[in-house]
Copies of this chain bind each other. A is one copy, B any other.
Amino acid sequence: MKPSIPKGTRDFSPLEMQRRNFIFNTIRSVYEKFGYEQIETPTMENLDTLMGKYGEEGDKLIFKILNSGNFLEGIDKNQIEEGNFKKITSSISEKALRYDLTVPFARYVVMHQNDITFPFKRYQIQPVWRADRPQKGRYREFYQCDADVIGSAALLNEVELIQIIDEVFSNLTIGVIIKINNRKILSGIAEIIGEADKIIDITVAIDKLDKIGIEKVNEELKSKGLSANAIQQIQPLMNLKGSNEEKLSSLEKILSTSEIGKKGIEETKSVLNSISLFPNPSSQLELDITLARGLNYYTGAIIEVKVEDKRSSFTSSVLGGGRYDDLTGIFGLPNVSGVGISFGVDRIYDVMDEMKLFEQMNLQSSSTKILFVNFGSAEEKYCLQLVTKVRAAGINAELYPDQAKMKKQMSYADAKKIPFVAIIGSDEMKEQKIMLKNMVRGEQVKVSLEELIEKIKD
């Protein structure tokens, strides 16, 4: 039997784990710097908590858990005869794997509303599962890193989330462009062209501008039944140019008769003004009114981050987010406003890998600083005491467990990229000294234990 793992899933090697942990810890520490607190929710949710929350397509992509024991008991055999697998699913499965972190978070807030102090700033770093067709860069098990504030309508939250995004990508040393938009601006546009009921069609179409170009967008708008006049009115919006301020002042003119449009402009202005207080945002911040992701869901700000770095061939999205006014309504707690972001860690990993950032950061598979070579029982006993003292000084250290050939032990240090090796034979034992080899420079020097600890700590 040749072992394998399910398609779309991955093992992570020590080297990959070091690198992934670096990304997770970077995001985590920035979240905590802004006062976000971590929660975790169970891997399995009740099936009815998840079903119907991600659209019909989403329902199909949810991994369902077979009931334990005799799951056939009490099921309607006629349905099996009919091959009605959807109906049978709910009879033989009552649990499913988490599909995202947002719905479980909404469920959490409603269940624990009496224990939570609002505004609740929570972050959550956990895997999710989707029965998608696996392909390059898309997996059936992947991590999400979400932060949301719930119970506060203040725009300060949007400002701080943008600060968080900027700080994370700056710490990861990835150049990005942060795109923002506002659902209310989109609503305003639909309103002034007299097609308020077609807002979804309009935004779905203009969201594709980058990919398919203006002519194809116009064709799509026409096919959705927009009048030639309406399409004409949208043209200047798709061609908005200049600085964020210039775009906003154009929009102010165009949307001057739409209350909701003006509200969207005002919100966006306020966020941009606050951000401009900070002299050195490392990322670009761009108002992009063609940005419409997750529209059905977002009610205010919409945020997306794309890599914009000469060293990278990636242009895809590495973060999404926005404000939603009724996340918890589905579970019986209406009118609680929230805003949040979600880092796409797997894509960030691929970007950093391509740009060789992990190598530059010297992230190795092991954090071991020194390997003590094992020459035999007497030396082992002696080294065991030394290595214990080195560890007590806070240094990650290993004593090779077997009395193997020197070459094998050195290969082990090489493979784990351990920077120092301590070589102690009978001479060194007599002198109470250690031959310390610097594996990077190849130098050897005889030192006392105290000197060794001093040298390695640097």
Measuring CB to CB, which residues of chain A are less than 8 angstroms from any residue of chain B? 1-6, 9-14, 17-18, 21, 32-35, 37-46, 48-49, 60-61, 63-66, 68-73, 77, 80-81, 83, 85, 88-89, 92-95, 97, 107-108, 110-112, 115, 117, 119, 121-122, 127, 129, 131, 140-141, 149, 152-154, 156-157, 159-160, 163, 274, 277-278, 331-332, 365-368, 371, 374, 380-381, 384-385, 388, 391, 394-399, 401-403, 411-412, 415-416
CB of A144, distance to nearest CB on chain B (Å): 14
29 contacts between A and B (CB under 8 A): A2-B332, A3-B49, A4-B111, A5-B42, A6-B46, A11-B42, A11-B112, A12-B39, A12-B40, A14-B37, A33-B394, A34-B398, A35-B366, A35-B371, A35-B397, A37-B366, A37-B416, A44-B63, A66-B92, A68-B131, A77-B80, A117-B416, A119-B401, A152-B401, A152-B402, A153-B402, A154-B401, A156-B401, A159-B384
CB of A95, distance to nearest CB on chain B (Å): 5
- B residues near A153, Cβ cutoff 8 Å: 402
- B residues near A72, Cβ cutoff 8 Å: 80, 83, 85, 88
CB of A330, distance to nearest CB on chain B (Å): 8
> Is A66 in contact with B38, judged by CB distance below 8 angstroms?
no
> Is A70 in contact with B41, judged by CB distance below 8 angstroms?
no
Out of B44, B396, B401, which one reaches A141, CB within 8 Å?
A: B44
Given A17-B39, A127-B43, A131-B68, A332 contacting B1 (CB threshold 8 A): yes
Closest to A64 in B: B66
Out of B35, B42, B46, B374, which one reaches A368, CB within 8 Å?
A: B35
CB of A36, distance to nearest CB on chain B (Å): 9
Closest to A61 in B: B68
Assembly CA distance A374 to B154 (angstroms)? 11
> Is B92 in contact with A141, judged by CB distance below 8 angstroms?
no
> Is B388 in contact with A11, judged by CB distance below 8 angstroms?
no
Closest to A399 in B: B156
> Is B40 in contact with A43, judged by CB distance below 8 angstroms?
no
> Is A380 in contact with B156, judged by CB distance below 8 angstroms?
yes
Given A2-B332, A384-B156, A14 contacting B39 (CB threshold 8 A): yes
- B residues near A365, Cβ cutoff 8 Å: 37
Given A11-B42, A384-B277, A401-B157, A66 contacting B68 (CB threshold 8 A): no
> Is B37 in contact with A277, judged by CB distance below 8 angstroms?
no
CB of A391, distance to nearest CB on chain B (Å): 5
CB of A106, distance to nearest CB on chain B (Å): 8
> Is A115 in contact with B402, judged by CB distance below 8 angstroms?
no
> Is A33 in contact with B154, judged by CB distance below 8 angstroms?
no
> Is A17 in contact with B3, judged by CB distance below 8 angstroms?
no
> Is B60 in contact with A68, judged by CB distance below 8 angstroms?
yes
Assembly CA distance A411 to B107 (angstroms)? 25
Which 8 residue pairs are nearest across A and B when measured between Cβ atoms?
A: A14-B37, A9-B42, A35-B398, A117-B415, A68-B131, A154-B401, A12-B40, A64-B66
